[in-house]
Every structure is written in structure tokens, then in C-alpha cells.
């Protein structure tokens, strides 16, 4: 949307992320994987990092007490999720992001997940998130407005993506936690 006041902020936050070199990104991904691993179990949705996002593949090395899943685009700008292990088949979606090549009947609904590692461009201390602007996560996890149970939504970002306060929209689904290379951020109440 050309008039979305968040667009300028998205460009600024994207530039901050691109300023990090590959080494810093890998180190951040490893630190975040190490910090989160002990708390993970069941079905865990990750993502295939693109555009300088925090890489999560560190989660897949070493012992794993959870089933790692990747998002799969659905009609209506929603997401479902597919278990994925290194070596499993991938196809590119319309944004050029690899996703598992599974029959629709094998995909998991968002409600079936235990933890969701949510990619973000920006976050604030209240657990509000700025994403790429498609509303995919907000739409898919809108049920969290009604009940605060599982899945646990964990934003994944670099510390430099924190802003003082994001303009919150009605449809924003707040994060339960944000993980950065500098540690875990527990959202504060207003």
C-alpha cells in the first residue's frame, strides 16, 4: 500500500539488516538457536531466511527434540506449515522463497503448532512486530486474539531491528517473546 506510513520504516529497518555482514548474521543465528533450543518441543515453525533475515539452520544441527516446519503460502494470504528436514524437496513460491513440496493434505494448520519463529523487520518492547507487509502471520494467527494458548509466537530479529514504539494496528498479533543475538526480550505491558 503506497500510503502505509510503515513503508518508510520498513525501508529503514531493511537497510539496517543489510548493513550486517554474513558473519554477523550467522553468529546471530547461532546465538539465537542456542538460546531457544532448550525451550523448543513439538511442532516448531521456522522460516527459510531471505533478504538478510536471521538464518535458523543452526537449529537443525545437533540433537533435536522437535519437528522443524517451514511456512507454505496458501490462498487468501494465509500460511500452513510443513515438516521439513535437510535434504527434503523444496519448490520456490511466488516470492522466490523455497517451501516444502508436499500435498495440501499433509500441511499443518497454524493451530497445530507449538512454537512459531516469526521473521520480522522490526519489533518494540511491547512485542509488536513489523513484517514484510503481506499480513500473512497476522492473518494466520489471528485466532490468538481469542485465546492466548499455544502456539508460542517468538519473533526472531537482530538487536538493531528494535525500535522505540511501533504503530500498532488492530490486526497485529503480539509476540510472546522476541529473540535477538543480544538475548531474549520479554514484552512489557503498556
Ligand X SMILES: Nc1nc2c(c(=O)[nH]1)N(C=O)[C@@H](CNc1ccc(C(=O)N[C@@H](CCC(=O)O)C(=O)O)cc1)CN2
Ligand Y SMILES: Nc1ncnc2c1ncn2[C@@H]1O[C@H](COP(=O)(O)OP(=O)(O)OP(=O)(O)O)[C@@H](O)[C@H]1O
Residue 71 near ligand X by CB under 6 A: yes
The CA distance from 138 to 136, in Å, is 6
The C-alpha atoms of residue 72 and residue 138 are separated, in whole angstroms, by 15
Interface residues for ligand Y in 96-155 (CB under 6 A)?
A: 130-139, 142
CA 51 from centre of chain: 13
Residue 78 beta carbon to ligand Y: minimum distance, rounded to whole angstroms: 9
Q: Which of ligand Y, ligand X, none sits in contact with 169, Cβ below 5 to 8 A by type?
A: ligand Y
Taking alpha carbons only, the member of 61, 52, 53, 70 closest to residue 34 is 61
Of residues 70-99, which lie at the interface with ligand Y (CB under 6 A)? none
Separation CA 36–CA 117 (nearest Å): 10
Based on the shown chain and the rule CB under 6 A, indicate whether residue 141 belongs to the binding site for ligand X: no
* CB nearer to ligand Y: pick between 46 and 131: 131
- By rule CB under 6 A, what count of residues binds ligand Y? 14
| Contact mark string toward ligand X, 84..103, x via CB under 6 A | -----------x-x------
Which range of residues in 35-43, 132-140, 150-158, 167-175 is near ligand X by CB under 6 A? 132-140
The phi and psi torsions of 134 (rounded to 5 degrees) equal: -85, -15
State the virtual CA torsion across 134, 34, 147, 72 in degrees, nearest 10. 40
Torsional sign, CA 23, 28, 34, 37: negative
The CA distance from 158 to 178, in Å, is 10
SS3 content of the chain, % helix, strand, coil (to 5): 30, 25, 45
Q: Which of these segments, 35-43, 44-52, 148-156, 167-175, binds ligand X (CB under 6 A)?
A: 44-52
43 scored as a contact of ligand Y (CB under 6 A): no
> Per CB under 6 A, which region of 17-25, 29-37, 46-54, 102-110 contacts ligand X?
46-54
**Residue 119 binds ligand X, judged by CB under 6 A:** yes
By CB under 6 A, name the binding residues for ligand Y: 130-139, 142, 169, 171-172
By CB under 6 A, name the binding residues for ligand X: 47-50, 53, 71, 79, 95, 97, 119, 131-134, 136-137
Amino acid at each position: 500500500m503506497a500510503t502505509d506510513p510503515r513503508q518508510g520504516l520498513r525501508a529503514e529497518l531493511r537497510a539496517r539488516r543489510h548493513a550486517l555482514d554474513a558473519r554477523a548474521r550467522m553468529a546471530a543465528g547461532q546465538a539465537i538457536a542456542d538460546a531457544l533450543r532448550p525451550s523448543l518441543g513439538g511442532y516448531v515453525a521456522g522460516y527459510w531466511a531471505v533478504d538478510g533475515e536471521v538464518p535458523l539452520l543452526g537449529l537443525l544441527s545437533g540433537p533435536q527434540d522437535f519437528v522443524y516446519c517451514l511456512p507454505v503460502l496458501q490462498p487468501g494470504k494465509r500460511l500452513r506449515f510443513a515438516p521439513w528436514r535437510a535434504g527434503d524437496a523444496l519448490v520456490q513460491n511466488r516470492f522466490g522463497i523455497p517451501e516444502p513440496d508436499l500435498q495440501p493434505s499433509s500441511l499443518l494448520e497454524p493451530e497445530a503448532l507449538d512454537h512459531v519463529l516469526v521473521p520480522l523487520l522490526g519489533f518494540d518492547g511491547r512485542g509488536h512486530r513489523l513484517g514484510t507487509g503481506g499480513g500473512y502471520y497476522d492473518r494466520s494467527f489471528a485466532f490468538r486474539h481469542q485465546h492466548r494458548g499455544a502456539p508460542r509466537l517468538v519473533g526472531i530479529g537482530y538487536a538493531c531491528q528494535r525500535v522505540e514504539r511501533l504503530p500498532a494496528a488492530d490486526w497485529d498479533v503480539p509476540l510472546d517473546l522476541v529473540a535477538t543475538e543480544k538475548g531474549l526480550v520479554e514484552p512489557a505491558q503498556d
